[in-house]
Amino acid sequence: MLKYIAGRIIQAIPLLFIISVILFAIMNSIGDPLAIQLSQGRPPTGEERLRMRRRMGLDQPIYLQYIYWMIGNDWTYIDADGDGDTDENIRGPRKGVLRADLGRSLITKQFAQVRIMERLPNTLILMIPMYILAITMALVLGAISALRQYSALDNLLTTAAFVFYSMPIFFISLGMIFIFAIGLRNWGLPHTPIAGMFEPGEPKTLTNLIRHLILPASSLAIIYAAAYMRYVRSSILEAMNADYVRTAYAKGLAKRRIFAIHILKNAALPLVTIVGLDLPFVLGGAVITESIFAWPGMGLLFIESLTRSDYPVLMGILMLIAVAVVVLQLLTDLVYSLLDPRVALMGQTG
């Protein structure tokens, strides 16, 4: 097992390197971080703009920018004042990704890792309860739907799953706001806040957090649950018709025992795969939902950084997701082998 894990990690290194090269090239073609900053008053002259670019190192060839991003620039002299000449007494301030320095945000000048760590917990606060809710709903509703195949309830649940899965998230989010924040308020009933994570000026209590969490988490959970429910339903149906289940019935095992041990466990395999594929993107947050509900998570940070061409932060977020994909794929494979002993990992015999 350990040999397998070590092999997968070694395989991931060139993969992550290639991903970083591709992402860096893309990030450097998404616009000028200075262009977005020209929104107030007198624009800088061309010379002033050029100086700003030099100070940020944006005038360097892209391969050199990549090298600085990867291994830092503290080994070389830089043009600190942006006059076009290298300052022979000033070395670059960056250590590079390999030494855990993602660089400073071009916009806030904070370290990119600080920006990310400010927002990552908020995204996890949103996404973990959302995922638990979505998977619970999917399992319960998918099981009900499968156990009552072709009944009116099955048809209703299946149709609802199709409808919610097809619905754009912004539509569901705005609908939820309209009903639970505005409608309930207008009817004089307890209502949820429209947006945000806490009420400004109020204590950051769990109650305050939960009030704000309800709408964004529910909006996302509805869509995820609708998608997963379809998998759960079809997997359970497939398992219910399997020979081993028929055998279990023939042996006179209790229905609940058959369902829990023989059907649900086997039906969970496709769900594990799908959730394993989706989980890394949890770290990236939910761009639209976080934007609508002003939830200060990774999705919002991503979209802010994208519109401001803040590529050190963007690279940080995307590389975090890339690493998470590699790690969670490995974990998924391990969980798979635990759930289904027939699945052999490389180096193991079945």
**Touching another protein, residues 257-296 (CB under 8 A):** 291-296
> For residues 296 and 197, what is the distance between their CA atoms, to the nearest angstrom?
7
Comparing CB distances to another protein, the nearer of 33 and 276 is 33
Residue 195 found at the interface with another protein (CB under 8 A)? yes
Residue 188 found at the interface with another protein (CB under 8 A)? no
Comparing CB distances to another protein, the nearer of 46 and 350 is 46
157-186 footprint of another protein as x/- string (CB under 8 A): -----------------x--xx--xx--x-
Residue 208 found at the interface with another protein (CB under 8 A)? yes
CB of 305 to another protein, least distance (A): 11
> For residues 311 and 20, what is the distance between their CA atoms, to the nearest angstrom?
12
Q: With beta carbons less than 8 A apart as the criterion, state whether 266 and 197 touch.
A: no
> For residues 131 and 182, what is the distance between their CA atoms, to the nearest angstrom?
26
Residue 349 found at the interface with another protein (CB under 8 A)? no
What residues does 326 pair with on adjacent strands?
none
Using CB under 8 A, which residues numbered 58 to 97 contact another protein?
59, 80-81, 87, 90-91, 93
Q: Which of 85, 88, 202, 243 binds another protein (CB under 8 A)?
A: 202
- DSSP letters spanning 17-42: HHHHHHHHHHHTTS--TTGGG--SSS
Stretch that binds another protein, among 154-162, 210-218, 220-228, 331-339 (CB under 8 A): 210-218
Q: Which of 190, 252, 341, 350 binds another protein (CB under 8 A)?
A: 190
Torsional sign, CA 125, 127, 128, 132: positive
117-156 footprint of another protein as x/- string (CB under 8 A): -xx--x----------------------------------
CB of 138 to another protein, least distance (A): 19
> For residues 33 and 305, what is the distance between their CA atoms, to the nearest angstrom?
9
Q: With beta carbons less than 8 A apart as the criterion, state whether 113 and 106 touch.
A: no
Q: With beta carbons less than 8 A apart as the criterion, state whether 343 and 140 touch.
A: no
Comparing CB distances to another protein, the nearer of 248 and 320 is 320
Q: Which of 3, 21, 48, 163 binds another protein (CB under 8 A)?
A: 48
DSSP 256: H
Q: With beta carbons less than 8 A apart as the criterion, state whether 284 and 299 touch.
A: yes
Q: Which of 107, 125, 253, 274 binds another protein (CB under 8 A)?
A: 107
* Beta-carbon count within 10 A of 142 CB: 27
